[in-house]
Structure formats: structure tokens, C-alpha cells
Structure 1
Amino acid sequence: MTGGLWPAELSTVTAETAPLVEYLKADLQRIVNAANAELEGIRRAGMADPIRQAEEARVINDARAFAVRRVESTVRHLRNARQEFRNGSRPVNGAEPAQDRHRAPTLDRGESRTEPISVPEQAQPAPAAKPKTPEPKWVRPTSPFDTDDTEVLDEIATVLKDFAKITDPAVEEPPAPPTPARHAKPSVDEAPPTPAPEPPAGSDSDREQLDRLLKFVARQESGLRWAIGNRDDGSTVLVTDLAHGWIPPGITLPAEVTLLVPERRTGNAKALLGQTTLSVSYAPGDALGWATDYEETDTSSQPRELPPVDDLGWALTEATHWRDGLPRMVHTLAKAGAAGTGVVDVELDVLRVHLEIARYHLMAQYPDVDPALLLNCLLLAATEGIATGDLIVANYHFAWFQMLSSPPPSRWAAGE
């Protein structure tokens, strides 16, 4: 289970992201190797089972947190580089911009033009035919992560194996042209068949579009059950059965989808969709295919938009004050985000580590999650949103917190 460790920005390798992805892959592998070596030493120390299990859990959590910080740092560097490129600044490595090879060279004003001297044409002998050399066959490189990492930290090892598949796509050979029949008689009377009109480029059928959107989110958290469907009003609803249809933080959403409003619901993912005209579902273990097999998906935070919570900043500050299971810094950052005083990047990174750890434990408990852990994860996600200025995300998670933290309505009518 990857636990959402690999970011969506690096799910498809491009020329821009290839160096960052290679560095990140190597760092994650070093984290796995170091943790496995420490775990091997703990197992050989002859500790009692409770002490050994506690030490192993500590090593795994520390390695997981270190890997999360490394991924966050890579994504932040990538976003900063893209922003600098949009602003027209110099490249990150300090190199001068490459000159346009197709642009005609300019002459200085004082430089005189030299007229070319005409040379009488001479008959040249025909060039000798070059011997044909056989084209080299492409050999698929062997991935350094083909061996199973059976120690622990399976989530990081799985990310590395999945990345090796992404960076090494299969090359399909072009089909050979059909060989015309030697003894076939040419048709004179019959007119050539009219080819069927091809659909416009980029158009998907409804089922193919739903499948594309579903796999886009399922790749980010493949350990959950997902469902997506079209309703009569034309909306496309996306749900997961983690907690009444709530979508956890860290999931990049397609711009076309709509999410459920906070409400207590029961049933599996398809039941949470409600009445639909067409639906597609995913369960852990289903094939996801390659991301490059589908066209690019536009993303947005708008699907998380809900009616605004009254006095969101004050309500979030009160909810995080002296709450069991939350670090003290969460309340401090919630108060700073509500006041708009700004948050230091280092503190924001620590907050994200706490959020990722809570989310990781939540996925580990799935499908039977601890209600207290779920509420703390909602508060951490809302605090990250308000600390970064993303009020849509903060409002979404806190609205779910308010609904789930309030007692369910009584089944007994008043006065009975």
C-alpha cells in the first residue's frame, strides 16, 4: 500500500521532471535500505517481543516521516521552478538561456557583407551506395527494483517498483504493411468502400471517460474502494467508502467531478453514489493500466467547494484547542492561519508530516477506521488548508468534521 506517498505531479515522467524523479527514487531507496538494516539489527538483538515490536514500529514511522518530508521537498522544488519559469526568470541552474538555432545571425553595423564567389559547376561522380548495416535492436533495461523488498516499508518499496514501470514503458513496434495478393484480379465494377467517419480526436465515450477519471484518483490511493457515476442532472459524482463519501486529503481531483456533501451514509462505494445513469467502480487489486494510456486530466480544487462554514477561522481555532491526539502546534498554526499572519515553511512542513502520518494510520485501519483518528485527520487537513490560504480545502474538511463530530439525530420522536 503506497499510502498516497508518490505525488500526482510526478505520476507521469516528462523531460522536466525526469531529473527530480531520479533523485527522489534514489533517496527513497536509501531510506528503505537504512531502515531495513536497522530492523535487521533489532531482530538480532534478542529483545523481548513487546520491546522489539515497539522498536520496529518506531523505525518504520521514522522512515515513513523522513520519506514524506523528502517527497514534499521535491514537489515544492518542482512548483517553485515552474513558477520561476512562468515569471520569466533565469533557469534554476544559473545557465544562460539557449539560443534559438533557427534564428538568422545578426551582423554588426560596421561589419561588411561578403558576396559569395560563384564557382563553376562541375560534374560530380555519383555517390557510391553505402552498405546497409542492421539496425540495432532495442533492449529493455533491467529495473534495479525487480527484486522483492520483503523486509518492511512495503509502501515505499511499492512506490519505487511502480515508478520503475512508469519510467520504462514498453515500446510497441509498428505493424508491418499488408502484402498485396499476387494473383488477385483488380476490381473494376466495384467502387472502393467508403471508410467510416473517425471520431474527433480526444473524444471519449461516457464509460471511457468515467474509467479515465476513476483510475486517475485510484492511482493516488489504490488501497481504497472508489466509485464514479453520471447522474440525470449531468453531474459526475466521485465517492469512496472510507467515511460516508468523504475524500481524504492529498488526493488531486479532476475538474469534472462533483463530491458528496457532508452527511452520514451507509453502504459500499456504489451505494453511496445513489441513482446514476452509468457508473464505474474500483476495488483494491483491480488493474489500473498506464497513466500514459489516457489523455491528460485537468485538475482543480473546486470539486471540494461547499457552503462556507460560519466564522471558519474561529471555529477551527476552538476545535483544535487542547484536543486529544493533536500536537500543540496545530492549534498555533490554525490561529495564525485564521489571523492571516503567515506561517513559516518549516512549521508547515512539520504540520504536513503529522497529517501524512495520521492519513497513513487511517488507511492502515481501513475499512474500520477509528472515529477519533478520523476527526483528528479532518482537523489536520483543515489546518493545512487555512495555513496555506486554501480556504476551499479548509472549509471542505472542517464541514465534514462538524457533521461527524455532532451526535447523530435520535431515532425517538420528542415526547415519546
Structure 2
Amino acid sequence: MALFGRLSARQRLRNAARESLAIPAFSAPVDCSSWVLGGLWPAELATTTPETAPLADYLNADLQRIADSANEKLHVISRSELTGPARQAAETRVINVARAFAVLRVESTVRQLHKEALEFGTEYVSLASPPAAGPAAQAPADPSEAPRTVDAPGQAPETSAPQSRHRLPENGADPAPFTPGLPEPEAPEAPEVPEVAPAWEWPELFQPLIPEGGFEAELIIPAAPVVATAPETPVAEPSDRRLQRLLAFVARQEPGLRWAIGVFADGATRLITDIAHGWVPSGIELPAAVQLLEPGRRIGTVTEMLSGATESVSYRPGDRLGWASDFAATETSVTPRELPLVRDLGWQLSEATHWREGLPRMVNTLAKAGSAGTGVVDAEIDLLRVHLDTLRYQLLAQYPDADTALVLNCMLLAATEAIATGDTVSANYHYSWFRAMVAPPVGQWDLQS
């Protein structure tokens, strides 16, 4: 019985150890807030005031939202099958992208703070106002009324050597004040000294070499003959180099998105991103030589959207772009955003932003003011851009997933900001995409009818 009990106890311990090893070890939740948000809080909000408290709370909530999104992605990576360098590279990419979004969000808030200080600050004292002039010393009108110095009896008048006007006396005393109206004493003329011929002459062996025109004569150097050269012909940029330059130009502005660019048989160069079926967010300057996709629903990656291109280049977050100095300058333009003009754009934008959930009420007010052309205050435009940047950061934090309502609100905010600043082309582009996204998808029954 003792042996049987001992064996059964060992078996139970062995089974318990096997079960404990089968259970995964406890792991603390991943938190990258210190890497994403460390040292980013602006010094202007270190001490909050009643005026800056709402803006500080708004910034704190957005930064915490960016850090939480990065923590969720790191948690997914930790549960994935990635190991070694691949896992480390994925985690580094997530932290770097989140850090970039946080930096942009803080910069937007700092710009808003400085703008408010300029718009609503106290009046500055003018530095151009001349100082109050003191009472000027009045000179006697008649020189005879000037006070005269009376010599003491029995004292001979002292004679002093003539002094120059801008030199101090040799004894270190202060010079006598200049009295206007009195004639200055004339300095005695220096006696003429007769010229005396030198008693010696230069030996012939050591005669100084003096040019005929004197030492001030200019040295004339004959100009070198000008050789006519043929004008340099500009070297054509290779096609692959051109595509890489255009791709790097847009990818540097938003490195957290996937980009692709390609040349088609008709010579058109199309730029594509997959954040929302090919819509390019606001705040990104576009090269003048590219075309964008028309509004519409699409599926697939950026490479699949470029099907049919004869030559293409793609980028994904983390790829190397090279230095900006390695490429030539890129001309930007708003022309790539040109689309057929929406009829009654201002009225339709006002209706779309009226009481829409998730948008501030000021968006509808600025949309009406921008469409009517009554003018918008710069401070209101800056505040609108803060809301737009916040939505855009939330949208990029969810990338590659995207909430449809968030995408639509971001399009409306971009259209409102463009129409308030007078950029009708961009306003028409963003609203056209909004209208295409809210339209019901075309089904097979619609195609048959």
C-alpha cells in the first residue's frame, strides 16, 4: 500500500507539472506610451490657464488615443506568429508611426496657441513713438550779452597755447564749453620753413625703382579671351527615377500610408493610396504631373488598383525613401484634384454638414460663410484645422482599417476647410468623394434595369 500510494503521488505531481507547462505564462499588457508620447507635451501647456485648459484636455485625450491604438497593434503582433527580427521590425514600425502622429498633433495645437496669442493678445506699446523732448537750452540773441570773465586785480591774464577743436587739453582738464555766437580765436599761422636740399643722394647702385605713373598707377592685366561654349542640353530624367521621385515626395508627407504610382499606355501617371478606395486626404501637396482616381468604391491593394500600368513603383510604411537631396525639385499643383464641378456645391455642403453626428457645429457655420463669400476669421479657420487634424490622426491610427463614419466626416471637414479658404477645386474634390461614398452601391438588379 505504501508503494502504491507513493507511485500514485508521483503520478499526480507529474500530471500537475505537465498541465502547468501547457498553460501559457502570464504576460503583462504591452504599453508603449513612454516611447510614443515621451517629451512631446508642449511647454506652452505646462501651466494651464482657464483659457488653455479645454485645449490641453483635448490634446491629452487625442495623444492617449494614439498611444492606445499603438498598444492594441503591439498586442496583436505579440499574439502573432512573427518571431525574431521580423517581429522587432513590426513593433518598431508601429511605434515610429504612432510617434509621428503624436508629433503632428502637438504641432497643430502649438500653432493654434500661437495664433490665439496673436489674435487675442493685449495691445503692444509702439516703439516708434519719439521720446518727449526736454527743454532746449536757449542761446543769447546778442553776443554782447554773454557773460565775460573779469580778471582779478593784480593778476595777469593767463595765456594758453591754442587748442584744437576736437582735442582735450594736455593737462587733462575739461575743455571750456562752446558758447554760440562768439567768434573762435584764430590759430596762429605756422612759420614758413624754407626748403633745404638733402645733403645726400641715393647711390646709383641703390636707386629706388619708382614707376613713371607713381605708386598709384593701376596695373593693367590683359583680359583672357572669351571662348564661346555651346549651351548645355538638359539631361532627360529616367522614367524609373522620375516615378521614385514623385512617390518619395508624397510618401514623406504621410509615411504611414501605402502609396503606389504608375505610368499607363496613354502616358498618364496615376497616384494611388488605399486609405479609402483611393481618396487622398487633405494636407498633402500633390505633384503637378500626376492624376488621381475618380471617386468610387474599389477593393484590392494599391498594386491591384494599378493593374494595367506599364511601369509602377510602390511604397509601404517602413520602406526606405532616400534623402530629399537625392532627387530634383518637384513642382506642386492643385490640378490633380480637379473633378467635374458639383452643382450648387456650397448649398449641398451646408446641407451635408447640418446636424451631422461627429462634426462640431461650427463646421456648418463656416460652410455657409465660405459658400456665401462673406469671409471667415483666421482664428476660426485655425480652429477648424485643429478638428480636421484630429479626425485625420484618428483615421490614420485605425489604418489599414477605417471607420466609414470617420472617413465621411473627414471628407466633409476637408471640403469645409477648402471652401472657407477659397480653394474651390479641393472643396469640390473632397465633397465629390463624400457623395460617391454615401451613395448606395450599385447592385446587379440596377445594372440589368
Note whether the superposition's TM-score is higher than 0.5. yes
Letter of the structure 2 residue corresponding to residue 280 of structure 1:
V
1:136-174 CA-partner distances (Å, limit 9, x unpaired) = xxxxxxxxxxxxxxxxxxxxxxxxxxxxxxxxxxxxxxx
Aligned to 1:48: none
Alignment of structure 1 residues 57-68 onto 2, 5 Å: 57=64, 65-68=105-108
Alignment of structure 1 residues 177-326 onto 2, 5 Å: 200-201=233-234, 203-326=236-359
Aligned to 2:366: 333
User: Does the aligned pair in 2 maintain the 1:235–1:257 contact within 8 Å?
Assistant: yes
Instruction: Quote the Cα distance in structure 1 between the aligned partners of 2:393 and 2:110.
Output: 16
Q: CA deviation at 1:69?
A: 4.0
2:441 to 379, 398, 408: 408
Q: CA deviation at 1:246?
A: 0.8
Structure showing greater Rg: 2
1:359 paired to 2:392: yes
Instruction: Quote the Cα distance in structure 1 between the aligned partners of 2:367 and 2:395.
Output: 22
| Corresponding residue SS for 2:444 | coil
TM-score relative to the length of structure 2: 0.52
Alignment of structure 1 residues 118-133 onto 2, 5 Å: 118-120=213-215
1:380 to 410, 413, 425: 413
Letter of the structure 2 residue corresponding to residue 288 of structure 1:
L
| Corresponding residue SS for 1:374 | helix
1:70 paired to 2:110: yes
TM-score relative to the length of structure 1: 0.56
Q: CA deviation at 1:66?
A: 4.6
Instruction: Quote the Cα distance in structure 1 between the aligned partners of 2:349 and 2:326.
Output: 42
User: Does the aligned pair in 2 maintain the 1:245–1:260 contact within 8 Å?
Assistant: yes
Instruction: Quote the Cα distance in structure 2 between the aligned partners of 1:353 and 1:341.
Output: 22
Instruction: Quote the Cα distance in structure 1 between the aligned partners of 2:446 and 2:102.
Output: 51
User: Does the aligned pair in 1 maintain the 2:42–2:110 contact within 8 Å?
Assistant: no
Instruction: Quote the Cα distance in structure 2 between the aligned partners of 1:237 and 1:414.
Output: 28
User: Does the aligned pair in 2 maintain the 1:358–1:377 contact within 8 Å?
Assistant: yes
Which structure 2 residue ranges, 5 or more long, are not aligned? 1-36, 48-59, 68-100, 116-127, 129-211, 218-231
Letter of the structure 2 residue corresponding to residue 57 of structure 1:
Q
User: Does the aligned pair in 1 maintain the 2:257–2:317 contact within 8 Å?
Assistant: yes
| Corresponding residue SS for 1:257 | coil
Instruction: Quote the Cα distance in structure 2 between the aligned partners of 1:55 and 1:310.
Output: 36
Deviates more, 1:28-37 or 1:301-310: 28-37
1:173-215 CA-partner distances (Å, limit 9, x unpaired) = xxxxxxxxxxxxxxxxxxxxxxxxxx95452111100000000
Q: CA deviation at 1:410?
A: 2.2
Q: CA deviation at 1:412?
A: 3.7
Which structure 1 residue ranges, 5 or more long, are not aligned? 1-27, 39-52, 76-93, 95-116, 123-198
User: Does the aligned pair in 2 maintain the 1:244–1:272 contact within 8 Å?
Assistant: no
